[in-house]
């Protein structure tokens, strides 16, 4: 009687399935709950990994609910590689489609924010530009400037106040107001930071990330938000070490 | 071909600990008796950030043992080529003192289950494990050490004892062995055999590193003790005694304290390392265990 790894895996992931035959306690009894050690190890370790990766979601819905939901997710989407630092890439989409949580529409986007923070934590290092490099440029040519961003930087756009929800739960921030929020993830040192963006800044940074010039990006932003604050947005990018090169194409 | 007899031990015959980021400052300030560190390979496969930076700094001060927990050497399927490449990348830039992995599987059909799952000891699994170890050793261009598992159950189809299986793997592939003494104690209790007899049969000449860790206690369906490897508790006295027995036969070895869950403060972890130190000192001065 040979136990295949397919049988073994099937019985680990489905507690309703019979335990594979051919496993014993070495005294002639079937393995019984000895097999359940593996069922438990797998479920607990994957649940823990998700709870570590999505602490705000766990706080929002409570540990018990989180563990129950993680149990559904891990069975339908076990890790696809041993890179546990990436586990849960599909969790936001899963939350989006999970009927019992449909009344908490913001959960998926909050999970996206946590995922972006985790990616930023492990992202490649990049030497930030010296802020003085900007002021050294001829002012009349600033509109032609193009820039590249550190690998840790990313943008999120949500119809929900995802930054405020994160800050309220993780940083004792004020109670979230019912607004939409754009967020940038920065990593000035080794610790990722989410920052809420002012009007127009998302369009501005998106245009820069696509390789657009400072002038063109500012125009897109002002088009979208007449009160777009260019110097505050540039200041945020500089203090957040978001830029790793600036260039004046000749 | 790698020669398991010629290079079993490159780590110092001293205590080491499994590195946890919360101990970084303590380690840099005063590592005490801790002379080397072990890291889990998969935690250092990101592109950058704090984990890589810390590891770079630690590797300038301590010999590093890289311990893989995700290759699935005992898997029925082929090894994950992407993961092999990641291991090679890590070993290439870090140049650790040793590399080890487990006699276990964790990936099947594209799903990684994040646990060390057991395999039967048959001629067929022996061949598969050897093929995978050869492939790994060729990829990273160095010898690896293979660790014995904690067992909770036995496979009816097994035809090899675990020590014989490991000896045969070492002799066919030239790999070294990592002897986890707590795993021996856990398996012997769970499967009703004498842990000292296991050690007596074990190819100690191939051992380049010893693991010690804590376990949890449970019961099976018949009220018999069922020990569970947790790396989340102090090492129990019978495991320290089994270490003494092992060292009395093997001589001094590098000894790692593994404490991965409910990680204690540095002082508590260091106390375990001091106890390993005392066990090594007994051997060095010839006091019988
Ligand atoms: Fe171990």
- Residue ranges and CATH numbers for the domains of chain A are 1-104 (no CATH), 125-250 (3.90.930)
- Note the pLDDT of residue B5: 47
- Among B50, B80, B153, the residue with its CB nearest the CB of A31 is B153
User: Taking residues A16-43, what's their average pLDDT?
Assistant: 94
**Residue B135 above 80 pLDDT?**
yes
- Note the pLDDT of residue B289: 43
3-class state of residue B67 by DSSP: strand
The per-residue pLDDT for range B141-161, each reduced to its tens digit, is 999 999 999 999 999 999 999
User: Taking residues B213-223, what's their average pLDDT?
Assistant: 94
CA atoms of B277 and B77, how far apart (whole Å): 41
Backbone dihedral angles phi then psi of residue A248, each to the nearest 5 degrees: -105, 100
Q: How confident is the model at residue A131 (pLDDT cuts 50, 70, 90)?
A: confident
CA atoms of A214 and A144, how far apart (whole Å): 6
3-class state of residue B57 by DSSP: helix
The per-residue pLDDT for range A152-182, each reduced to its tens digit, is 999 999 999 999 999 999 999 999 998 899 9
| Torsion sign (Cα): B44, B4, B184, B166 | positive
CA B210-B240-B199 angle, 5° bins: 55
Strand-pairing partners, residue A196, are A183
- Buried residues in A28-49 as b, exposed as e (16+ CB within 10 A): eebbbbbbbbbbbbbbbebbeb
Q: How confident is the model at residue B20 (pLDDT cuts 50, 70, 90)?
A: very high
- Note the pLDDT of residue B68: 98
Q: How confident is the model at residue B137 (pLDDT cuts 50, 70, 90)?
A: very high
Q: What are the residues whose beta carbons fall under 8 Å from the beta carbon of B47, sequence distance 6 or more? A: A122, A123, A124, A151
The per-residue pLDDT for range A97-111, each reduced to its tens digit, is 999 999 999 999 999
Q: How confident is the model at residue B9 (pLDDT cuts 50, 70, 90)?
A: low
CA atoms of A74 and A27, how far apart (whole Å): 34
Which run of H or E residues covers position B117?
A: strand B111-117
Q: Measured between CA atoms, how close is A222 to chain B, in angstroms?
A: 35
Compute CA distances B241 → A127, B108, B199, B244, B275, whole Å: 52, 37, 12, 5, 11
- Note the pLDDT of residue A133: 86
The per-residue pLDDT for range B28-75, each reduced to its tens digit, is 999 999 999 999 999 999 999 999 999 999 999 999 999 999 999 999
- Note the pLDDT of residue B6: 46
> Contact B226/A34, CB-based, under 8 Å?
yes
**Helix segments in A30-146, DSSP class H:** 33-53, 55-61, 63-76, 91-96, 107-122, 132-135
**Residue A127 above 90 pLDDT?**
yes
**Residue B279 above 80 pLDDT?**
yes
* ipTM of the complex in this document: 0.94
**Residue B107 above 60 pLDDT?**
yes
- Note the pLDDT of residue B2: 63
Q: Average pLDDT over chain A, rounded to whole?
A: 96
Q: Measured between CA atoms, how close is B56 to chain A, in angstroms?
A: 13
> Contact A151/B75, CB-based, under 8 Å?
no
| Torsion sign (Cα): A26, A28, A34, A36 | positive
Backbone dihedral angles phi then psi of residue B144, each to the nearest 5 degrees: -115, 165
**Residue B8 above 80 pLDDT?**
no
**Residue A250 above 50 pLDDT?**
yes
- Among B83, B117, B156, the residue with its CB nearest the CB of A82 is B83
Query: Ligand 1 centroid vs B177 CA: distance in angstroms?
Result: 11
Q: At what angle do helices A214-224 and A230-239 cross, to 10 degrees?
A: 120
Q: Average pLDDT over chain B, rounded to whole?
A: 95
Q: Is B190 part of the contact surface with chain A (CB cutoff 8 Å)?
A: yes
CA neighbor of B178 nearest in space, from B288, B256, B287: B256
Query: Ligand 1 centroid vs B147 CA: distance in angstroms?
Result: 7
CA atoms of A108 and A102, how far apart (whole Å): 10
- Note the pLDDT of residue B4: 47
| Terminal alpha carbon distance of chain A | 74
Quickly count: other Cβ atoms within 10 Å of residue B143's Cβ.
23
DSSP B167-178: HHHHHHH--EEE
Q: What is the pTM of this model?
A: 0.94
Chain centroid to CA B141: 20
If contacts are CB pairs under 8 Å, which of residues 48-67 in chain B contact chain A?
A: 48-53
CA neighbor of A15 nearest in space, from A48, A50, A44: A44
Quote the tokens at residue A244: 């790793």
Which run of H or E residues covers position A238?
A: helix A230-239
If contacts are CB pairs under 8 Å, which of residues 230-289 in chain B contact chain A?
A: none
**Residue A19 above 90 pLDDT?**
yes
Contacts of A42 in chain B (CB under 8 A): 113-115
């Amino acid at each position: 009687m040979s136990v295949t790894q397919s049988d073994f895996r099937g019985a680990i992931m489905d507690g309703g399935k019979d335990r594979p035959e051919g496993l014993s306690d070495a005294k002639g009894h079937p393995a019984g709950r000895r097999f359940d050690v593996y069922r438990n190890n797998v479920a607990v370790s994957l649940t823990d990994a998700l709870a570590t990766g999505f602490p705000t979601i766990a706080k929002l819905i409570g540990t018990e609910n989180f563990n129950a939901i993680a149990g559904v997710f891990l069975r339908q989407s076990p890790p696809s590689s041993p890179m546990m630092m990436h586990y849960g890439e599909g969790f936001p989409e899963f939350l989006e489609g999970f009927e019992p949580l449909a009344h908490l529409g913001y959960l998926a986007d909050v999970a996206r924010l946590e995922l972006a923070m985790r990616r930023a934590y492990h992202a490649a290092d990049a030497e930030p530009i010296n802020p003085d490099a900007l002021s050294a440029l001829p002012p009349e040519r600033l509109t032609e400037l193009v820039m590249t961003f550190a690998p840790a930087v990313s943008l999120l756009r949500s119809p929900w106040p995802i930054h405020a929800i994160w800050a309220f739960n993780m940083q004792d921030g004020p109670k979230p107001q019912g607004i939409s929020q754009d967020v940038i993830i920065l990593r000035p040192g080794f610790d990722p930071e989410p920052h809420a963006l002012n009007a127009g800044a998302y369009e501005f940074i998106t245009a820069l990330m696509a390789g657009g010039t400072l002038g063109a990006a500012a125009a897109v932003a002002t088009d979208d938000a007449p009160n777009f604050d260019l110097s505050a947005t540039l200041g945020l990018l500089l203090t957040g070490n978001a830029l790793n090169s600036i260039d004046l194409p000749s | 071909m790698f020669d398991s007899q010629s290079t079993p031990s490159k780590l110092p015959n001293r205590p080491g600990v499994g590195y946890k980021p919360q101990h970084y400052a303590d380690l840099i300030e005063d590592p005490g008796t801790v002379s080397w560190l072990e890291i889990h390979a998969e935690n250092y496969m990101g592109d950058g950030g704090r984990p890589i930076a810390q590891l770079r700094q630690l590797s300038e001060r301590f010999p590093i043992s890289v311990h893989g927990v995700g290759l699935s050497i005992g898997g029925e399927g082929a090894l994950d080529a992407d993961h092999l490449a990641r291991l090679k990348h890590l070993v290439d830039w870090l140049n650790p003192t040793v590399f080890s992995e487990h006699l276990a599987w964790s990936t099947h059909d594209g799903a990684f289950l994040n646990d060390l799952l057991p395999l039967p000891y048959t001629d067929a699994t022996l061949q598969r494990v050897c093929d995978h170890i050869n492939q790994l050793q060729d990829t990273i261009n160095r010898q690896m050490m293979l660790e014995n598992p904690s067992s909770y159950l036995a496979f009816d189809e097994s035809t090899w004892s675990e020590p014989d299986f490991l000896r045969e793997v070492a002799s066919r592939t030239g790999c070294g062995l990592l002897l986890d003494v707590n795993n021996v104690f856990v398996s012997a209790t769970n499967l009703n055999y004498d842990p000292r007899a296991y050690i007596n049969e074990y190819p100690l000449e191939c051992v380049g590193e010893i693991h010690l860790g804590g376990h949890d206690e449970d019961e099976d369906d018949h009220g018999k003790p069922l020990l569970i490897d947790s790396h989340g508790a102090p090492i129990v006295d019978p495991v320290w005694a089994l270490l003494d027995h092992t060292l009395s036969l093997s001589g001094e070895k590098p000894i790692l304290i593994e404490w991965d869950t409910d990680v204690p403060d540095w002082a508590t972890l260091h106390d375990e390392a001091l106890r390993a130190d005392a066990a090594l000192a007994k051997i060095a001065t010839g006091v019988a265990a």
